Structure 1
Amino acid sequence: METRDRERVIRLRERHREITEPRTFRLGGHEWDLLPGVYAPNLTPSALLYAEWVPYPVGGSFCEIGSGTGYIAVTAAHRGCDRVTAIDIGPVSAENTRKNAERHGVSDRVTVLCGDMFEPLTENDRYDVVFWNSNFVEASFGDPAAPEGPEADRDAMLDLAFCDPGYATHRKFFDGVRDHLNPGGRVLLGFTDLGDDELLERVAREHGWSPVPRRRAVGVYPDGELRYELLELLPV
């Protein structure tokens, strides 16, 4: 990762670390709850982009991996999905998703689970669309020598939200998602050019997938451009 890109991620992570108390934010014309240690979708434009880009199966089933605040999962319910499952490895993120499902009146359609990737699901849980806004940074910015405690736990969860050394988590996703698709089901991945495109392609193909860009946007910032992508995984 280039020095400039590394500094970008560190700055974004530090903005998240400044959130030490529950708060609300406004996004997409609605208010949302945000708990400390949870990825804040209002701090980058990607949440609004993916909310518009994702093809929600009206009357069908939708699964979001890494739900965070639940912004996308709740939006899926609002856009007509009959059954939505939101999964996050962080207990606080799972709680945050539940709070927003309740706030927006879709708790009857949004099931929230806490666990690593697809582990909380049964073999009978299958979906028309599975979406993951992945932790695309192939590096780690956490401090393994940091003292234990609530603050360290929050930092560890934030590190997981941004970073995936060696794309080990991506490997789990590519390996497990096929078992939870309905016939004709689609797999969508949120990604940016802060990630490693070549490694993603290689790891995906090792597990029988080919990432194909479906939507793309470029944001212009004082320190340069940043590309956001919605990738669809097609079987190879």
Structure 2
Amino acid sequence: MTTGIGQEREKNMEYDLGAEVAEWMLSQTGAPDGARSTTTLMGLQWDVFPGVWHPNPGTRLFTSWLPIADGCRLLEVGCAAGVTCVVAARGGCTRVVGVDIYPAATDNTRRNAARHGVAGRVEALTSDLFAELDEDDVFDVICSNPPLVKAPESRRIDTATEQMVYDPGYELHRRFFREVGPHLADDGRIYMLTSETLADPAELRKLAAEAGFTGRVHASEAIGIPAPVMGSTPAVVAAADEHGVVRVDFTMLEFQRG
């Protein structure tokens, strides 16, 4: 049986691991003045503009878990390089809109939509959440792979890349659920990525409930990251398995009205 002291140590270790993974995630995104690059994900090549969140295994899980169907109207909040928008359009969605607060991300989404032949079905808007949508824009699926880490409210955000990882006080998540309602079809669904390692799924479901949405787990999987890749810090080494791999979980929550 784990004592109170032991439980506190485990909790602190989990927090330390989450902080280490978050810092490693930050290091994977290029600086705004860096070079354009390409990467392969889900069997396709993607252009990645400087300062845009780099497509990664979490992006693959997020995109592959979405219930994309012919005729679906899909909105992605935080479109980054446009992977999800492009896959949705290729998968039969009749209207796909990606919004992102960073102009480089919306430019990047348009570039990858053109690269993969779906420019006519993908619209990218530079927008703070839903601000640039028309009042009558309604979608069957609204999805978001948001800044995962629920940082303390006092956490300073000094760079754009930090804003992609940290959400102090979960203020962005709170705003999302306050503002999403008018844009969700009556029988529509919201899909959001979270993580026990990096985030706070229970708090996320609480925020959704306060806004009138019920949530459930839609899909969950852990991704293995070799400890040396993340620097083999004490928290990372302590979390690694016998093969030196750290398992970082990702969960997609589904929300609906009521």
Q: TM-score, normalised by structure 1?
A: 0.88
In the alignment, structure 2 segments of 5+ residues that lack a partner are 1-13, 228-235, 237-245
* Bigger Cα displacement from structure 2, 108-117 vs 225-234: 225-234
Alignment-derived partner of residue 7 in structure 1:
20
CA contact (8 A) 1:77 1:106 kept: yes
1: CA distance between counterparts of 2:73 and 2:84? 13
Match of residue 58, structure 1, among 70, 83, 98: 70
DSSP-derived class of the 1:117 partner: coil
Give RMSD over aligned pairs: 1.8
Residues 1:73 and 2:85 aligned together: yes
Offset at 1:18? 6.3
**Partner residue, 1:132:** 144
Matched to 1:23, the amino acid is S
What CA deviation, in whole Å up to 9, does each residue of 1:5-62 have, x standing for no partner? Answer: 10111122122246821011111111111011111113xx111112211001311211
Structure 1 residues 107 and 227 mapped into 2: Cα distance closer, same or farther (>3 Å)?
same
1:38·1:157 contact (CA, 8 Å) conserved in 2?
A: no
Aligned length: 223
Equivalents in 2 of 1:59, 1:235: separation in Å?
21
Residue type matched to 1:122 in 2?
D
Superposed displacement of residue 219, structure 1 = 2.2
Deviations 1:92-121 (A, max 9, x none): 111111111111111100011001111111
**Superposition map of 1:86-165 within 5 A:** 86-139=98-151, 144=158, 156-165=159-168
Q: Report the Cα distance in structure 2 between the residues aligned to 1:95 and 1:128, rounded to whole angstroms.
A: 24
Q: Which residue of 2 aligns with 1:197?
A: 201
| CA deviation map 1:152-177 (0-9, x unaligned) | xxxx2212211111111111111111
State the identity %: 32
Contact 1:22 1:36 in 2 (8 A): yes
Change (3 A) 1:128 1:188: same
Residue aligned with 2:28, SS? helix
Query: What letter is aligned with 1:174?
Result: F
Q: Judge conservation of contact 2:188–2:256 (CA < 8 Å) in 1.
A: no
Structure 1 stretches of 5 or more lacking a match? 145-155
Show the 5 A alignment for 1:163-182.
163-182=166-185
Alignment partners' CA distance in 1, 2:29 and 2:72: 34
Query: Which residue is 1:83 aligned to?
Result: 95
Counterpart amino acid of 1:212? R
For 1:114-136, what per-residue CA distance to the aligned partner results, in whole angstroms no more than 9, with x for missing partners? 01111111111001111101212
**Match of 1:214?**
218
